[in-house]
């Protein structure tokens, strides 16, 4: 057994190393769905006919020398024009943040029904382009919006009438929890997951369930039915595994969305889609995702177009109203750790610049910022082993494992070998956590790039091989998994657009246990100093 474990650990390390090298891409895609075909180009020939927003007729900006676009800003409180009355508070299409929607519904300026109808119209108009939703709850959402009007506590609900999208791997009563797969039981859930129940209790309306890769295993979101795409450039993936949620919020289809994060699955799509995404620390929000929440690595979190909206949703998910209060933090000791977690992974200079820009803004806000190196030692192997083992544990509860996708079956097989060899040991994480605790004795927050490169191409990754999928996930998202391994909070904040691809770039903020409020308040300072265009 010891020989098997040593060999498997070596093989896992080699696979991660190979994932940083070029792997040939199949010449043709299979199982391309009608939904994917209508939502954007899937080949280089198609892409040549689209600009960076996926619209025909304009070539993509060429070369890194193209100056980055300066995004306009928007506000729910800004009148739509300089003449005539301000109808923002009563026009459901002008209300685009959760904070503004809930205030207007509580005040009676609009009804939840009007807000839901506006959201459903946006989804009907825009979802084919970005592939965000697996299920649209048209009639159910309208019925729930009518019922909301009869609630005696309507005037105090923090999310009154706010349309929300929910990732399709937690239970929504009456809906099938597919988790991106056909291998599970096609039986509607009998009750809501605790997170969904908290959203509903706060007045939110679930308008749909969002796309994800099978089992949440991959950093790109697609199934045989659809491909989730970045609304900023539909040739690129929306990320994963909460890719549908990121696409829904980034395209302005819903103001906020639920996601969960086991290796970066909220922060990755948030970065790909130009929105805010926060993963709370372990135990802050009820997890209960799959068999054992990936051994405690997965947390439920929020995606939103503003920090205030992300804080509001997290305050509801955590049942901690104070998290919605965004006051300027006391001066912080901030570390800028923009270096790659691995010498084998190159970080795109525009993603490095995103972290540097966030650090500069933090310094201008009065915080002390110093360069530093995060202690990543041992994390790559520990994460790779758990990525495999957790997949095997989840597959053990699947009703029809023979229906799992080929890439997933390979991953699960390797994970079973990891478990047989006894390669998952608590001491691995204990040592990493001890080094991080020492790091945070000297720093309050660390800033890194959220990603190392723009998202992979939007294509049918589910039909490709295991190694190609490992490459797609590992090479562009090496910064996010560390915080899942130790269960500490982290979030992604937009920092502009990549000049070559037109896709967003972002900075990751992370801190020790209990620092969710600090991260949110710092993110709000960055947003105030450098506002971003909230939707594509």
SS (H, E, C) 378-412: CHHHHHHHHHHHHHHHHHCCCCCHHHCCHHHHHHH
Q: Rounded distance, CA 333 to CA 266, Å?
A: 26
Closest C-alpha to 268, from 130, 447, 133, 451: 451
Is 55 tagged catalytic? no
Is 492 tagged catalytic? no
Strand partners, 488: none
- DSSP β-ladder status, 276-279 and 490-497: antiparallel
Report the pLDDT value the prediction gives residue 33, as an integer from 0 to 100.
35
Is 65 tagged catalytic? no
> Does residue 196 contact residue 189 with C-beta atoms inside 8 Å?
no
Half-sphere exposure of 306 (CA within 13 A, CB side): 17
**Encoding tokens for residue 354?**
């995103």
3-state helix, strand, coil in the chain (%, to 5): 40, 15, 45
Q: Rounded distance, CA 320 to CA 189, Å?
A: 27
Report the pLDDT value the prediction gives residue 69, as an integer from 0 to 100.
36
Q: Rounded distance, CA 161 to CA 169, Å?
A: 23
Q: Rounded distance, CA 391 to CA 407, Å?
A: 11
Closest C-alpha to 52, from 351, 414, 500: 500
SS3 510: strand
Report the pLDDT value the prediction gives residue 88, as an integer from 0 to 100.
61
Beta strand residue intervals within 238-326, DSSP E: 256-261, 276-279, 299-304
Q: Rounded distance, CA 221 to CA 502, Å?
A: 20
Tell me how crowded residue 27 is: count the other CB atoms within 10 A of its CB. 6
Of the candidates 228, 265, 315, 473, the residue annotated as catalytic is 265
**How does DSSP classify residue 175?**
S
Architecture of domain 2-30+111-529: Alpha-Beta Complex (3.90)
**Encoding tokens for residue 533?**
């265009």
Of the candidates 241, 477, 492, 515, the residue annotated as catalytic is 241
Q: What pTM value is reported for the model?
A: 0.86
- DSSP β-ladder status, 368-371 and 333-336: parallel
Report the pLDDT value the prediction gives residue 37, as an integer from 0 to 100.
34
Domain range summary for the chain, segments of one domain joined by +: 2-30+111-529
Report the pLDDT value the prediction gives residue 452, as an integer from 0 to 100.
99
Q: Rounded distance, CA 470 to CA 101, Å?
A: 40
Of the candidates 167, 228, 237, 517, the residue annotated as catalytic is 167
Closest C-alpha to 316, from 513, 102, 118: 102
Half-sphere exposure of 150 (CA within 13 A, CB side): 4
pLDDT in tens, the chain (536 residues): 444 444 455 555 455 444 444 433 333 333 333 333 333 333 333 333 333 334 333 233 333 333 333 333 333 333 333 334 445 667 899 999 999 999 999 999 999 999 999 999 999 999 999 999 999 999 999 999 999 999 999 999 999 999 999 999 999 999 999 999 999 999 999 999 999 999 999 999 999 999 999 999 999 999 999 999 999 999 999 999 999 999 999 999 999 999 999 999 999 999 999 999 999 999 999 999 988 998 899 999 999 999 999 999 999 999 999 999 999 999 999 999 999 999 999 999 999 999 999 999 999 999 999 999 999 999 999 999 999 999 999 999 999 999 999 999 999 999 999 999 999 999 999 999 999 999 999 999 999 999 999 999 999 999 999 999 998 899 999 999 999 999 999 999 999 999 999 999 999 999 999 999 999 999 999 999 999 999 99
Residues in the chain: 536
Closest C-alpha to 425, from 475, 365, 476, 485: 485
- DSSP β-ladder status, 445-449 and 333-336: parallel
């Amino acid at each position: 057994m010891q020989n098997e474990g040593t060999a498997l650990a070596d093989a896992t390390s080699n696979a991660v190393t190979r994932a940083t090298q070029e792997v040939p891409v199949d010449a043709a895609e299979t199982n391309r769905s009608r939904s994917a075909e209508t939502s954007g180009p899937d080949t280089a020939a198609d892409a040549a006919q689209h600009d960076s927003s996926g619209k025909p007729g304009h070539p993509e900006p060429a070369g890194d020398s193209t100056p980055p676009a300066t995004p306009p800003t928007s506000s729910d409180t800004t009148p739509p024009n300089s003449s005539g009355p301000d109808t923002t508070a009563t026009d459901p299409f002008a209300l685009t943040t959760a904070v503004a929607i809930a205030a207007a519904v509580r005040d009676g300026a609009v009804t939840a029904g009007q807000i839901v109808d506006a959201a459903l119209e946006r989804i009907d108009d825009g979802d084919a382009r970005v592939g965000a939703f697996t299920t649209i709850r048209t009639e159910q959402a309208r019925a729930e919006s009518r019922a909301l009007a009869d609630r005696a506590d309507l005037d105090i609900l923090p999310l009154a009438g706010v349309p929300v999208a929910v990732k399709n791997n937690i239970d929504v009563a009456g809906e099938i929890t597919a988790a991106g797969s056909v291998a599970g039981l096609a039986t509607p859930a009998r009750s809501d997951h605790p997170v969904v129940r908290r959203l509903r209790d706060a007045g939110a309306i679930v308008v749909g369930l969002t796309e994800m890769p099978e089992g949440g295993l991959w950093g790109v979101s697609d199934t045989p039915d659809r491909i989730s795409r970045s609304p900023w450039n539909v040739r690129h993936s929306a990320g994963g595994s909460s890719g549908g949620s990121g696409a829904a919020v980034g395209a302005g289809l819903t103001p906020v969305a639920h996601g969960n994060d086991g290796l970066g699955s909220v922060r990755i799509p948030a970065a790909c889609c130009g929105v805010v995404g926060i993963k709370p620390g372990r135990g802050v929000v009820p997890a209960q995702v799959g068999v054992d929440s990936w051994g405690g690595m997965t947390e439920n979190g929020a995606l939103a177009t503003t920090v205030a909206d992300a804080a509001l949703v997290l305050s509801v998910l955590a049942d901690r109203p104070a998290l919605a209060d965004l006051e300027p933090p006391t001066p912080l000791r901030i570390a800028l750790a923009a270096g790659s977690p691995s010498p084998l992974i190159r970080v795109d200079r525009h993603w490095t610049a995103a972290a540097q820009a966030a650090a500069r803004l933090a310094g201008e806000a009065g915080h002390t910022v110093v360069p530093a190196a995060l202690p990543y030692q041992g994390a790559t192997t520990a994460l790779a082993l758990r990525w495999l083992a957790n997949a095997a544990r989840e597959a053990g509860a699947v009703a029809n494992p023979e229906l799992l996708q080929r890439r997933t079956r390979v991953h699960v097989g390797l994970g079973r070998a990891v478990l047989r060899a006894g390669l998952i040991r608590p001491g691995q994480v204990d040592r990493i956590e001890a080094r991080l605790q020492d790091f945070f004795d000297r720093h309050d927050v660390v800033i890194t790039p959220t990603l190392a490169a723009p998202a992979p191409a939007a294509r049918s990754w589910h039909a490709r091989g295991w190694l190609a999928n490992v490459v797609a996930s590992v090479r562009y998202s090496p910064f996010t998994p560390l915080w899942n391994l130790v269960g500490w909070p982290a979030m992604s904040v937009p920092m502009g657009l990549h000049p070559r691809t037109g896709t967003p770039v972002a900075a990751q903020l992370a801190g020790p246990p209990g620092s969710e409020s600090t991260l949110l308040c710092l993110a709000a300072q960055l947003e105030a100093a450098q506002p971003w265009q909230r939707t594509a």
